[in-house]
Structure 1
Amino acid sequence: MENLHQPTLRVIKVLETLKNCDEGLNISQIAKECSISVGTLHPILKTLCELDYLTYDNKVYKLSFCLNPELEQRKSTKIIIYYMDELAAKIKLNVQLGMLNGKKVIYLHKSEGNEKIALKTKAGDVANANATALGKALLFDKTLADLKRIFKKQILEQNTARTINNVNDLYENIEYCKNLGYSYEYGEYDDDFSCFAVPIRKNKEIFAAISVTILKFHLNDEKKEIITTELLNYKKIIEEHLS
C-alpha cells in the first residue's frame, strides 16, 4: 500500500464507504469511516459533487449512482412496490411483482387490493412462465430461438387445459401481446382467474413485471380497459423513476 497514490486512495475510500450506505453520510461520519481529516475530505467531496459522482442534500452525501448491484436491485424494487401499493388501492385488485428465473417466474411481492380474493401465489412462490401473464411479459424481448433454449422441450408444462403448451404458440402469443403493450391470460394458471401484466424496464432492459389479477366472472370489457390502462400508466411512471 505504501507505493500506491495516497490522494487517489482517499477518493476510493470515500466511494467505497458510501457504496453500501443507502441513506448517505455527513462529512463527519465519512471522515471517521475513512480516517481522513475533515479539512482534507472537504475538497474531495466538493469535487465529487461537481463531477456528479455524489449528491449533497441536507448535509448528507450519497452516491449519485450505485456500485453495489444488490443494493441497486433493492432500491429499484422498493420503488416498484411503492407504486404497486398505489395501483392496488386505486383499482381495488391485487397487484403482483415477479422476476424471471429460467422458465419460471419468482413472485417477489403482492400488494393487496381486495383481501376477500385469495390468490394461490404469494411472495417466494414460483410458477411456469408460459402459464402466467407475468411470465409472458418478462419474455417480451425473447426471440423464438431464445424461448427454445429457455424451455428446452417443445411441449410445455400446463397448469390448466388453457395453458399454452408449445413454444411456437407461446412465441406467437407473446408477439401479439407486445403489440398491445401488455400480456394476458384467461384461466391459464388457475381456472378461476384472469391476469394482465406489463414488463418494467430499467436501462432499456426488462427488470421485472407487474400484474393485476381478477376473478374471471368479475371481468368484463370495462374492467379490462381500466386494468390495462392503469397498468400501462403505472408502467410509465415506474420506469421514469427507475431511469
Structure 2
Amino acid sequence: MLLKLFMIKSLSKAIEILEVLKKSPKGCSLFQIYTTLGIPKSTAHGILKTLMEKVYVLKDENTHFYRLGPALISLGKVASLELNIQNIAYLALEKLSLELGVDSFLMIPIGYKGTIIERVDGLQSVKIIENYGNEFYLHCGAMRKAILAYKEASFIEDYMKDIIEKNENTQISQSKLKQDLNKIKDEGVAVSYGEYAKGTIGIGAPIYNSSGKVIASLGINLLETKDLTDERVKELKKIVREKSAEVSKGMGYL
C-alpha cells in the first residue's frame, strides 16, 4: 500500500515537472524546478534523471537547463489524433502533393521551435529538407515563421532577446525578422528562399483552432527552377493559404 502511494506521488511530481518545463521554452534549472514545486532537490533530480533516461526530458550540458525532450513528440502525435488535426490536415496535404507534385507538411510549435508531425511526398521530393520530428527555431523557414508571426507580442519579444539577440550564428536581424512577420500577417502566408538548402523555396500558412489561435502550419517545399516565376509563387501562396483555411475550418475555426 505504501509503495503504491509512493509511486502515485512520484508520478504526480513527474507530471508537475513536465508542466513546469512546458511553460518555459528556454528551459529551467534544477533550482527553478524544485523551488517552483516546493519539493526536495533530491526528489526533483531523481525524477528528472528517470525522465531523461526515456528522453522525455533533455539537459543542456552547457547551461545545465532542462527542457522537454523528443520522446514526447510521439505521445503528442497520438494525442493530436484525438483532436483530428492530423486526420483533417492529411487530406489537405495529399491534395497539395497531388496537385503540385511537391512535398507537403504539417508542423506544430514546441516552445521556441517547430517540428514536423506529418509529411506527404510529391513527385518532386526534396528529401533533405524536412522529416518527421525535425526541430528548428521558429524563425527558420516559411512554415515556422507562419506560426511565429501569430504568437503573442510578449512571446515574440522574448524570442528576439533569447534567440535572435544572443545567438551569434543567427542569419537574420531583429528588424528584418519583424518585417517578415508583419508581412506574413498582412498576407496570411509566408515564403522563404534557401533557408534550409540553396535552391529551394518554402511556402507556409497558419492553421487556427476553434478559439482563433494559431496551433500549427501547413506548407510545401520545392526546388527553385526557371519556371518558378514570381507569378507562379503568387499562385502557390494562394493555394497553400486556401488549404490551410480548409484545415482551420475542419478544426472549428470560422
Q: TM-score, normalised by structure 1?
A: 0.63
User: Within the alignment, does 1:135 sit opposite 2:144 as a pair?
Assistant: yes
Q: Which residue of 2 aligns with 1:233?
A: 242
Alpha-carbon distance between aligned partners in 2 of 1:71 and 1:200, rounded to the nearest angstrom: 14
Contact 2:80 2:86 in 1 (8 A): no
The structure 2 residue matched to 1:110, chosen from 106, 115, 119, is 119
AA matched with 1:198 = A
Question: RMSD between aligned alpha carbons?
Answer: 2.3
User: Within the alignment, does 1:201 sit opposite 2:208 as a pair?
Assistant: yes
User: Aligned with 2:79: secondary structure?
Assistant: helix
| CA displacement 1:123-179 (0-9 Å, x = unmatched) | 1111221111111111122355422313514144657xxx42x33321221011111
Deviation at 1:74, TM superposition (A): 4.6
Contact 2:109 2:115 in 1 (8 A): yes
Unaligned runs of 5+ in 1: 1-68
User: Aligned with 1:105: secondary structure?
Assistant: strand
Larger CA deviation: 129-138 vs 144-153: 144-153
Q: CA 1:231–1:157 in 2, change beyond 3 Å: closer, same or farther?
A: farther
Q: Which residue of 1 aligns with 2:193?
A: 186
User: Within the alignment, does 1:125 sit opposite 2:134 as a pair?
Assistant: yes
User: Within the alignment, does 1:92 sit opposite 2:113 as a pair?
Assistant: no
Alpha-carbon distance between aligned partners in 2 of 1:158 and 1:176, rounded to the nearest angstrom: 24
Identity of aligned residues (%): 16
Q: CA 1:103–1:157 in 2, change beyond 3 Å: closer, same or farther?
A: farther
Larger CA deviation: 83-92 vs 150-159: 150-159
User: Aligned with 1:194: secondary structure?
Assistant: strand
Alpha-carbon distance between aligned partners in 1 of 2:148 and 2:166, rounded to the nearest angstrom: 17
Alpha-carbon distance between aligned partners in 2 of 1:125 and 1:146, rounded to the nearest angstrom: 22
AA matched with 2:178 = Y
Q: CA 1:71–1:211 in 2, change beyond 3 Å: closer, same or farther?
A: closer
Alpha-carbon distance between aligned partners in 2 of 1:193 and 1:175, rounded to the nearest angstrom: 23
Contact 1:96 1:111 in 2 (8 A): yes
Contact 1:212 1:227 in 2 (8 A): no
User: Aligned with 2:127: secondary structure?
Assistant: coil
The structure 1 residue matched to 2:218, chosen from 195, 206, 210, is 210
User: Within the alignment, does 1:168 sit opposite 2:175 as a pair?
Assistant: yes
Contact 2:85 2:247 in 1 (8 A): no
Contact 1:105 1:126 in 2 (8 A): yes
Q: CA 1:157–1:215 in 2, change beyond 3 Å: closer, same or farther?
A: farther
Alpha-carbon distance between aligned partners in 2 of 1:155 and 1:198, rounded to the nearest angstrom: 28
Q: CA 1:144–1:234 in 2, change beyond 3 Å: closer, same or farther?
A: same
User: Aligned with 2:139: secondary structure?
Assistant: helix
User: Aligned with 1:227: secondary structure?
Assistant: helix
Alpha-carbon distance between aligned partners in 2 of 1:112 and 1:181, rounded to the nearest angstrom: 24
| CA displacement 1:153-208 (0-9 Å, x = unmatched) | 4144657xxx42x3332122101111111011111232221111000001211111
Q: CA 1:230–1:84 in 2, change beyond 3 Å: closer, same or farther?
A: same
Alpha-carbon distance between aligned partners in 2 of 1:239 and 1:117, rounded to the nearest angstrom: 26
Contact 1:147 1:171 in 2 (8 A): no
